Chain A
Amino acid sequence: MNANGNRPLLEVEDLVVRYPVPRGLVSSLGRKPKENVQAVDGVTLSVRSGELLALVGESGCGKTTTAQAVLRLVDTTSGAIRFEGRDITRLSTRALRPLRRRMQIVYQDPYESLDPRLRVRATVEEPLAIHGLGGSKTEREERVRTALARVELSPPELFLERFPHELSGGQRQRVAIAAGLVLEPSLLVADEPVSMLDVSVRAGVLRLLDRLRENGLGILMITHDLSTAARFADRIAVMYLGRIVEEGPAQEVVHNAQHPYTKALLSVVPRRDPRDRARPQILTGETPDAVRIPSGCRFHPRCPVAIDECSLRDPVLERPRNARTPDHRAACILA
């Protein structure tokens, strides 16, 4: 599928996304200085074909903004985004169009992302019409059926004429995925794809994504759920306040975490086994807002092991001393 040999499908380099903070009338008249939200502050990541990268973090950490920037849904302040070997950071909307169908997104809530008035057939066919693809009516029909089969809604006849309200949550999310797959993308951005679904059907959708990945799709999954990432990602990148603070193979990040924030996040994941009641490392307070980013290491005010130097030096993402694999990186001067 991807003819770029060993080059990653998606490469994001030092991405920065800043928004101006809207000022109220009083602030404007009072000539208060304009402030910026530093939503994404220097993110570097890559996704290969057949790989699932999980971008993990709490709300406001910049994971969704990163994904939106990748899809060119928000403007990039600086940095570069390369997709299928092309720099798309400043590509015009027109030039971007043929590439758009190669990168698709699945949203969190299949109750909102599907048009309730459209039958499954129309929902899945619509992207073809928008991109002027699919040729004749018969060919389009065939593509729709193939897409439904790929998301395991089979036989397709059973689903083609149904409306969203006639489907379960899991089936709706599969329809949403089919509407993305019908364009045969090489990259799928999945923004919390199962968090609105009942526990009993989550794994089904996740395993579907896993099979699509095995068949060559690159997946960037945005999630707040480390357990899901641990089970389904090749690599995990943990974000805090606009930065990736730790990144590496999923098993390494989960079982050999090096950044104090990752360690704290892992410790508060409730365990299924009631006998496994380890004392969680609960951080006090909440993530500071991205307008006033702390000096030095941005995590230092909440860090349980911070030393004086942490408020002065902004750590770079590099291989920690205790790394067991070469591609494990953490941004902590103590690691």
Chain B
Amino acid sequence: MMEITVISGKGGTGKTTLAAAFASLAQNAVLADCDVDAADLHLILDPHVEERRDFLGLKLAIKDEDKCNDCGRCLEHCRFSAINEDFEIIRDSCEGCAVCQLVCPEDAISMIDRLSGEAFISSTRFGPMVHASLIAGEEASGKLVAMVREMARKVAKNGEKDLILIDGPPGIGCPVIAAISGVSMVLVVTEPTLSGMHDLERVLGVAEHFGIPSAVIVNKADINEDNTNKIRTYCSERDVPFLGQLPYHDSATESMIKGQTLIEHADNPLAPIIKDMWNKMEEILSE
């Protein structure tokens, strides 16, 4: 079974739009939305939720005021600024490490589960989809990404699917690492802007750091042709396959408004280019 993650480094380059288009081209795949703190893939794929599971993120420290003698050892040892001068626990800052519980001489602190989100197994017109939502402001998005991937693998195994197509988060940190670790390939969607290029370099560095093959797609390529050419050259110098480039076109937004993928959206010039990219990627994967 193959796993492919669509990432970008920089946000807003068209990851989800392309992931949705690829979803309508994939023949026998499970779709997974791993951009768990701003998930958008469901707006296009319109999933029908069949199963939901609670996501318990980090633990949370709570204090028994009756037992606390204000000794301050918890404040002294907490490295997350999660205990204030009045020895109260600040929920938003607590990372659930349990050091306060460990050092408390009065046994006043206990660690409780913290409901941080939900994960879903759903059906869509393109096959099963696993997705999630993180409660606003909760931590541990990397852990939720790992949970979505684990569920997607089970769904794929039970349904005899041969591909998991993952819509990844922006950035290069914890949730991105969780979304790409161990996948067959990452597809990096970038744009020909200095920011896009800077972020491309960093995100390719992360893929390389974890030994994952990458391929690159340039979106809105005609916004700056010079930069697009620079990206092509850069990819060939680094030996990263270049799958193709898409021009800026209003159909990307129009299809989003209609809740369609770019493959479903009638008469748009982007669809054949995306099909070509998909074929190239399948070729690379089969090698």
A in complex with B: no
Binding site for B on A (CB under 8 A): none
Binding site for A on B (CB under 8 A): none
